[in-house]
């Protein structure tokens, strides 16, 4: 059975069924207090690099290439990824992102990568 990993926009309300909440953005989300975010972890190390994020610019036509480049960057963070996968053995893992696009963002890629470990 694949790990229980959900993806959610950080601006959505925190729910008990979210489980372990991890923000996977390099930059803190605009207009949100740390208290309101109700995070278990903010992991900037597994977020896309600033250069990659700026290049991608959340453009749907660049998502396939973004995914490849991001997966390549994530190879340096295997320890963090394995730790997050381990969390899924105890509870649900909720990957939080701030981008407006629900289909084309780093959390989608991250979910696939963690599921494949």
Domain ranges of the chain: 5-116
pLDDT at 15 over 70: yes
Predicted local distance difference test score (pLDDT) of residue 77: 97
Predicted local distance difference test score (pLDDT) of residue 34: 93
Confidence of residue 1 (pLDDT cuts 50, 70, 90): low
Return d(Cα 36, Cα 67) in angstroms, integer: 30
Q: What percent of the chain has pLDDT over 70?
A: 97
pLDDT at 11 over 70: yes
Q: How far is CA 6 from the centre of its chain?
A: 10
Predicted local distance difference test score (pLDDT) of residue 2: 64
The pTM assigned to this predicted structure is 0.96
Q: How many Cβ atoms are within 10 Å of 8's Cβ, its own excluded? A: 17
pLDDT digits (tens, 9 = 90+) for 32-88: 999 999 999 999 999 999 999 999 999 999 999 999 999 999 999 999 999 999 999
Angle (CA) 98-102-104 rounded to 5° is 95
Return d(Cα 93, Cα 51) in angstroms, integer: 27
Q: What percent of the chain has pLDDT over 90?
A: 97
Average pLDDT over residues 13-37: 96
């Amino acid at each position: 059975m694949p790990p229980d990993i959900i993806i959610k926009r950080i601006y959505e309300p925190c729910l008990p069924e979210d489980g372990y909440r991890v923000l996977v953005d390099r930059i803190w989300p605009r207009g949100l207090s740390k208290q309101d975010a109700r995070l278990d972890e903010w992991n900037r190390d597994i977020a896309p690099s600033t250069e990659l994020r700026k290049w991608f610019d959340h453009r749907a036509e660049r998502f396939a290439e973004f995914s490849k480049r991001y997966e390549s960057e994530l190879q340096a963070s295997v320890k963090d990824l394995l730790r997050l996968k381990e969390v899924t053995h105890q509870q649900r893992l909720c990957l939080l992102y701030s981008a407006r696009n629900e289909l084309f963002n780093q959390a989608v890629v991250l979910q696939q990568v963690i599921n494949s470990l």
